[in-house]
Chains A and B, each alone.
Chain A
Amino acid sequence: MKALLECWNEFFFRPHSSGAIALCRILSGLVLLFSLYLMYGDLTTWLGYDRDAVVSLESSLACLPKYPCLALLNLNAMNDDLLFFFYWLAVLSAAFMTIGYRTKLSIAICFILLQSIMRRNPFILSGSDELLSQMLFYLFLSNCGASLSLDAYLKEKARMPVNDKSAPWAQRLLQINLCLIYLQTFILKLQQADWQNGSALYKVFQARELLHFPVPDFISSSQIICRCFTWSALLFELLLPVLIWYRPWRKWLVVLAIIFHLCMEYCLNIPLFQYLMIACLLTFVDGVYIKRFFHRLRPLRKVHSKA
């Protein structure tokens, strides 16, 4: 029992570099900003209440869970003033979150606004919205503003810490959540005939609406190659969440997983999801590598300032 408690304390509470979770914060902040930019053109169509809105308030309310939830946009269903106020507040908070200014507060605002947007129109949500919302929850709990942030820069009097150490329990929860995503996906897919017989990716490649960039013909039209890819993806989703905890293999698995998600990004038009998965994977990167990376940048900064 004592050994178990020691392991628990070691895993969740032993101070750990916050550089990795700070990188995750920066990347997810950039993704959120880009997501807001993509949303701007159709803001009133998807989230508004005026005549040009697709989904009525009644339909939106019909989908709300019976439990309390953060559906603040429904507070003013008379016009779209509140929507525009929320939108620009979200842009400002996402920018602050990215640079790490008033980090906790800006993440909390982003989280509440994103939840409200998700509750207004759940029919347009993709995996990236839900994953981003989950990430904001963990980032809020974490100490992601302690490194690579304006907050840290101001606190340390003009010196940017890249590896400030703190209890990593929220970062661990984010990592466990990421592993759970892969495991859940594996379990669900394993029950489907398309994944068992290996035809799933072949069908995905035929879904022209989903494709991002053209997949080479010799891949998309070959059932044998598609079968190999389908089963490889399944194997990857089973093994990654288990093996990533084995330290000697971790960095290679992170690299492999990033390549996997970049390939998915090339093939599928599911904007931003893959970048968010990569942001989550970055939390597994050892603080030593981050420190080394930023130390390498120092001479560049000196050269730049001399010039």
Chain B
Amino acid sequence: MSSSKITLSLRARKWISAFIIFHLLSIFSSALSLKGTLKYNPLMAAYLHFFGLYQHWVMFERAPESNNYIVFLLQWKDGRRELIEFAHMDELDQLSRLRMHRFRKFQQSSAFNPANRFLWKDLCLWFFNSCNDSDKSRIAEIELLEKVIPFSINSINTEPKFVLVYRFFPSAEQSIK
């Protein structure tokens, strides 16, 4: 036990204690998924959102089932087709892996989540904008594909699957699922 005396005034301790209780109730009800508490207490929810105290990450609560990659299939107006894929993390040096970790996060967790379907058009548009101006007029269609390499419990050498996610037509500025 410390020998120092408590220096904070009683009044200050009361206010801080009230804050501590409110804060602890908020983070415990959020973290331990006591959804009812948050649902019926908008003040706690607003507090957690405003100060960014919600915790979304779960440290591999669900173990990954596959390696997923963003792939673009370019359809040129002259009929040629070109598959464009980004470098995989295991092909990069250590510093590049660190620099690219946000891309890895985006690719593995966010890009193909159906809840984020509004990102698919953004992704195609970003890819289109990154092409040379001379190429842009020759692109007929961009297909966004998800390349999935599932893990096998006995071997990791499984065949990749390509899943069509989104079609983007630059000339018409319209797209269909």
Contact = CB atoms under 8 A, between A and B. Distances in A.
A8 B123 CA distance: 52
Given A52-B130, A269-B104, A185 B122 contact: no
Interface stretch (B76-84, B95-103, B169-177): B95-103
A235 interface: no
A86 to B, nearest CB: 16
Interface size class of A (residues with CB under 8 A): 35 or more
Interface string B38-61: 000010011001111111111111
B49 A69 contact: yes
Contacts of A77: none
- Helix, strand, loop or mixed for chain A's interface? helix
A167 B110 CA distance: 42
Contacts of B13: 9, 13
Given A15-B2, A209-B90, A173 B49 contact: no
Interface residues of B, number: 69
Interface stretch (A95-103, A120-128, A250-258, A290-298): A120-128
Given A46-B102, A210-B64, A184 B31 contact: yes
Contacts of A285: none
Nearest to A5: B17
A206 B6 CA distance: 53
Contacts of A10: 1
A275 interface: no
B63 A192 contact: yes
Contacts of A124: 102-103, 105-106, 110
Nearest to B59: A185
Interface stretch (A21-29, A53-61, A151-159): A53-61
A181 B55 contact: yes
Contacts of B109: 123
16 contacts: A12-B17, A13-B8, A38-B101, A54-B123, A54-B126, A65-B49, A68-B46, A69-B50, A130-B56, A184-B32, A185-B59, A189-B61, A200-B60, A201-B63, A204-B64, A269-B97
Which 4 A-B pairs give the minimum distances between C-beta atoms? A127-B57, A123-B110, A203-B63, A15-B4
